[in-house]
Amino acid sequence: MTLLKKRVPCLLTAVLTISFFLTLSACADVSSSDDKETVTVVSTTTMLTDLTKQIGGDKVTVYGLMGSGVDPHQYRASAGDITKMTRADMVVYSGLHLEGKMGDVISAQEESGKKVVCASEGIAEDRLIINDGIPDPHIWFDVSLWKEAAKTVEKGLEELDPDNGEYYAEKLVSYTEELDKLEEYVREKAGEVPEEKRVLITAHDAFGYFGRAYGFEVKGLQGISTVSEAGTADVSRLADYIAENGIGAVFVESSLPVKNIEALIEAVKARGFETRLGGYLYSDSIGDGKSGTDTYISAFKHNIDTIAEELNTID
């Protein structure tokens, strides 16, 4: 009994100590910049996470809310996400209703006095694609527009952390040069596809800016948002178009289920024409490290390589 009494305080102390360190660990994922050398930024989409890392370099710690393959149209912020945003120095989101189900959460951060940056804010309205009064949020598919987003993020970082303003400005220049090279590469690959073959059929209408910038006719099974499911009428309409125009390949997106495209392929077959699955494209999310497409640039190159290769093999 005496031995047990001696052990109880020791055990209690050990439990309290472990609990203390677990609590510290749980709170340490996003902490205030007062006690560290870098500022912390929480970004929404994978594209923005990469962009912020490119501009922020080793002066910024970036926490992305959405992982590879996550659909931002459908994403709802968790309690943990809200905690991360609250503790961060800055929040970066895409805007144009891309993160539609996070609107109230983002507004609350702004109202609290948090530094919040909308990456699409600096893009002139006349450069946006407007469908039925609704702006297309998929601006990253036009590299020239993504350069504007990069400027906006850099400006936000410079305002947040003016002591490192020159560093961010230099990173922006360097990254813009990389985007210039990417744009040249995309135009060259697009030029390899004959004009009559430049028809891109995808799971949802995410590639409008891509089509406008690089000379492709683009049609999606769903509209610019994935909130509403594609119906029978949508499948029938697009199947008619594919069969009538002899479109030999359609593409699925990494952030959407393949079932809708498979249904489309079957509907085309029922009309006496066969089209095939041309490959997977990154639309509302970039890839991961295993795929080698975990940056905006590498994912974009994957897309144009896949599109050019598949469309060029159509008879």
What is the average per-residue pLDDT within 197-201? 95
Q: Convert the pLDDT of each residue in 201-244 to its tens digit.
A: 998 789 999 999 999 999 988 755 554 555 788 888 999 999 99
pLDDT value at residue 10: 40
What is the average per-residue pLDDT within 28-46? 73
Per the prediction, the chain carries an average pLDDT of 87
pTM reported for the whole predicted model: 0.86
The answer to whether the CB of 303 falls within 8 A of the CB of 188 is no
pLDDT value at residue 132: 86
Q: Convert the pLDDT of each residue in 224-233 to its tens digit.
A: 555 455 578 8
pLDDT at 12 over 50: no
What is the average per-residue pLDDT within 90-98? 97
Only one residue has tokens 């009994």, namely 1
Q: Please tell me the least confidently modeled range out of 14-28, 123-137, 177-191, 291-305.
A: 14-28
What is the average per-residue pLDDT within 10-17? 38
pLDDT value at residue 85: 97
The full set of domains in the chain, from first to last, is 33-119+127-187 (3.40.50.1980), 194-312 (3.40.50.1980)
**If you write DSSP's letter for every residue of the chain in order, what string do you get?**
-HHHHHHHHHHHHHHHHHHHHHHHHHH-SS--GGGSSSEEEEESSHHHHHHHHHHHGGGEEEEESS-TT--TTT----HHHHHHHHHSSEEEE--TTTTGGGHHHHHHHHHTT-EEEETTTTS-GGGS-EETTEE---GGGSHHHHHHHHHHHHHHHHHH-GGGHHHHHHHHHHHHHHHHHHHHHHHHHHHTS-GGG-EEEEEES--HHHHHHHT-EEEEEE-S-SSSPP-HHHHHHHHHHHHHHT--EEEEETTS-THHHHHHHHHHHHTT---EEEEEE-SSS---TTTT--SHHHHHHHHHHHHHHHHHT--
Tokens of 37: 């050398």
Q: Tell me the CA distances in angstroms from 24 to 18, 20, 28, 53, 62, one per residue in order.
A: 10, 6, 6, 25, 20
